[in-house]
Amino acid sequence: MLASFRELAVKSPWIYRINAGSCNGCDVEMATCALIPRYDIERLGCQYCGSPRHADIVLISGPLTRRVLDAARRVFDEIPDPKVTVAVGVCPISGGIFRESYAVLAPIDQYFPVDVNVPGCPPRPQAIIEGVAEAIEVWRQRL
Amino acid sequence: MNFLALFARNLTKGPYTEPFPFAPAPTAKRFRGKIEFDAETCEGCRLCERVCPAGAIRMTRTAEGMTFDCWHDSCVFCGNCEFHCPTKSIHQTADWHLAHTQDQKFLMVEHALIPNQICAECGKEALATAPATRTVTPPLSPTETQHLKALCPKCRAKFIRARKAAA
Ligand code: SF4
Ligand code: SF4
Ligand code: SF4
């Protein structure tokens, strides 16, 4: 029973986006993944959901500005375990163009347990899809 | 295009969705992706390191020569390095397959070494960079460039001065 549930669950991971102070470049690309039929991430069974409580995979963009840390933590903790975290863009990975700024806390793996990184500024939609595909693999092992 | 025309096109042309990730994704030839570096043609001017807004490039003098490193986890694909590089030794490829798991973080690096060499004239040790020859008139022949490459910076300057005086 549990095994078949696992099999079914990896077919439909729901995605949630957290914007941790991103310039919106990465967010536009993430939205593009799902909204435009050319990329259509829903073929992988993924769907963006409105509530963090429904999510399985969380995509974080942005260099984690100081002001957003508390809010991001709160939302992140609402997502049920096991979850998979994907850092989208170089901002969350290394700070990218904002690195060493007094206003940002990047890299975000000091604050959140990151599983998959998708570098790029912004990464193209296909690269994000590739990252999500890797995240689904991680999730399969974690379930 | 109105709805009916779109409908007719979709009926005849089939799905618009790219097959990726189940098949390769179409990529423009000039897509600005992962950095590639060629130590053979690099002049060692370190302009790329200086202009990189993300600090993704680092060149370091070591005992063997000068190392070049570009971290793909820091590069923002801006193309500044390629734009300013006088020899185009550094350029962006159309490769964007960079997604990786956390254990690979900061391991994706373009690494190269510009080795030291012994100057063919004075015997001093110097970097085996490509000689900067764009401004030399008349243009150097391939054999002259080859010879110049085997020299240290001082002997290179001497060679060019002597050539200018002879011309
Ligand atoms: S990685 Fe680039 S596009 Fe994405 S949020 Fe940072 S600056 Fe913006
Ligand atoms: S790659 Fe180009 S800009 Fe960088 S040090 Fe070499 S020649 Fe100079
Ligand atoms: S493309 Fe831009 S960020 Fe990347 S190495 Fe070159 S200068 Fe640096």
Mark out the alpha helices in B59-152 (DSSP H runs): 80-84, 142-149
Of the candidates A130, A10, A141, the residue with the CA atom closest to the CA atom of residue A59: A130
Pair B92, B136 in one domain: no
CA distance linking residue B155 with residue B122, whole number of Å: 7
- Domain span holding position B63: 30-116
Decide if the complex's ipTM is over 0.85: yes
What would the pLDDT profile of B90-100 be if each residue is shown by its tens digit?
Answer: 999 999 999 99
**Contact of A83 with A57, CB cutoff 8 Å:** yes
Pair B109, B76 in one domain: yes
Query: In this structure, which topology does domain A2-142 adopt according to CATH?
Result: Rossmann fold (3.40.50)
Report the CATH number at residue B89.
3.30.70.3270
Q: What is the CA radius of gyration of chain A?
A: 15
Of the candidates B39, B6, B44, the residue with the CA atom closest to the CA atom of residue B132: B44
- Cis peptide upstream of residue B139 (ω within 30 degrees of 0): no
How many whole angstroms from B34 Cα to the centroid of ligand 2?
Answer: 16
Pair B91, B126 in one domain: no
Q: Whose CA is nearest to atom 4 of ligand 2?
A: B48
Q: Is the pLDDT of residue B167 over 80?
A: no
CA distance linking residue A117 with residue A92, whole number of Å: 9
| Number of domains chain B is built from | 2
Pair B124, B112 in one domain: no
CA distance linking residue B37 with residue B88, whole number of Å: 9
Pair B100, B47 in one domain: yes
In a mutational test of the pocket of ligand 2, which residue from B58, B87, B91, B111 has the highest number of ligand atoms less than 8 Å from its CB?
B87
What would the pLDDT profile of A48-75 be if each residue is shown by its tens digit?
Answer: 988 999 999 999 999 999 999 999 999 9
Pair B106, B123 in one domain: no
